[in-house]
Amino acid sequence: MTACHAAAKKATTSGQAVGAAAFEEVDQAFGALKDWNGDLDDFKMETDLSKLVSEEDLAEKRKEFEGLLDTYSYRFQPGDRVVGLVLSVGKRGCTVEIGAKLPAFCPAYELSVKSNTNVRALIKAGMEREFEVIPSRTNGETLFVSARLIESSLAWKRVMQLYEKNTVVEVRIKHVSRGGAIVELENLQGFIPKSHLGMDLDKAKENIGKTLVAKFLEADAESNRLVLSHRLANVQSNVKDLEVGSVIKGKVVAVKDYGAFVDLGLEFNALLHVSQISYNRLFNVDQVLSVGDEIKAMVLSYDANRGRVSLSTKKLEGEPGDMLRDPAKVFDNAEQMASQFRERVAAAEAVARASAAETKKTEEVKAE
């Protein structure tokens, strides 16, 4: 009966809510049962046989004690987290002592977020770890638990921290299909759409098992949805090498009413907006630029996070309208005009800083 008493208290100390009154009643029943049962030495020394308890009474007391344990035992619910002791490990899973009436069972597929891993490589008898109670797979009394859900929760916390910081991460390609690539990040499964691979599918298949950099497009732990982009990660890396005011070469790959898209050879296209082609008004972009034209343009701005670059040729014009009259002349003098533009910008910034400092000094004098 000492083991029963220890089991009852173990159930309470592992997180089950049992009140002080329950302990007192259980202890009273245990004490009464011990008085009835006695130990072997007392039995040998007992002289008054009329005081010995009958087997029927002893069985009744045991039944009463077990009833008290059932009354005050914790009812585990799906979602409860418990610390369990692994009792045995087999191909189908492992049995776990969590303080319930019967050992719980953790199926092999609930042992880890890692796929295709040997059960015995994941967990061993005698190991203590956290589990989450999951809905039962049978109609019996055996509880089912999961270690995978615990791992998944921790992995998603790490991923969400990376997502919120807009961190470029490394992922491993697991599988490639017509729609894109299945990848792994923090042992979680993610997806890179075909349009965001930055390579053709055959090349992606050659890289199965290898790592590549990726940027988050979407991360939602609740729906277990993780979408990434390798193309944008490359864009962000390349854009960081650009400098506002610098001249860059490119090839026109598309002409639209609102401007021209220019391939800079950096795995993304930049936009030369119609308003940035010339100081003189331009009605039709194709009057000046055609697909296949090789041009020079100045980097006007860029957004590394969104992978967007804006270009300008009008800043390179010696005279307003040069791009409309003689684009080749503009390209020949591009570096010189860009240098002059940067000097004007630097001078303007210096004037602005001096003005701000003077204003601050004036305000401090007034405050005195």
Q: Are both 41 and 119 inside the same structural domain?
A: no
* 360 within a domain of the structure (yes/no): no
Among candidates 238, 236, 247, which has minimal Cα distance to 331? 247
Closest to 74 measured CA to CA, from 95, 96, 101: 101
Q: Are residues 335 and 251 in the same domain?
A: yes
CATH of the domain at 332: 2.40.50.140
> Does 100 share its domain with 134?
yes
pLDDT (0 to 100) of residue 55: 67
Element spanning 140, H or E: none
The answer to whether residues 316 and 327 touch, using CB atoms and an 8 Å cutoff, is: no
108 and 181, same domain (yes or no): no
163-167: Cβ within 8 A, 24+ apart: 163/216, 163/219, 166/215, 166/216, 166/305, 167/216
User: Residue 242: which of 307, 289, 294, 292 has the closest Cα?
Assistant: 307
For the chain, residues with pLDDT lower than 50 are 1-23, 26, 29-30, 33, 36-37, 39-51
The reply to whether 348 falls in a domain is no
Please tell me whether residues 271 and 332 are part of one structural domain.
yes
Residue 59 CB contacts under 8 Å (≥ 6 apart), including other chains: none
98: nearest Cα among 110, 113, 87, 108: 87
Asked, for residue 355, whether it belongs to a domain, the answer is no
HSE toward the beta carbon, residue 355, CA cutoff 13 A: 6
Answer whether 233's CB lies under 8 Å from 213's CB.
yes
3-class secondary-structure state, position 347: helix
| Same-domain check for residues 137 and 185 | no
Rg (CA), the chain: 37
Q: Which domain, by its residues, includes 105?
A: 81-146
Give residue 9's pLDDT: 40
Same domain, 230 and 284: no
3-state secondary structure 57-111: HHHHHHHHHHHHHHHHCCCCCCCCEEEEEEEEEECCEEEEECCCCCCEEEEHHHC
Residue 350 inside a domain? The answer is: no
Cβ burial of 228 (10 Å; 0-12, 13-18, 19+) is buried
Q: Are residues 122 and 168 in the same domain?
A: no
Count: domains in the chain: 4
Determine, yes or no, domain membership for 119.
yes
Residue 368 located in a structural domain: no
Q: Do 254 and 319 belong to one domain?
A: yes
Q: How confident is the model at residue 302, as a pLDDT?
A: 83
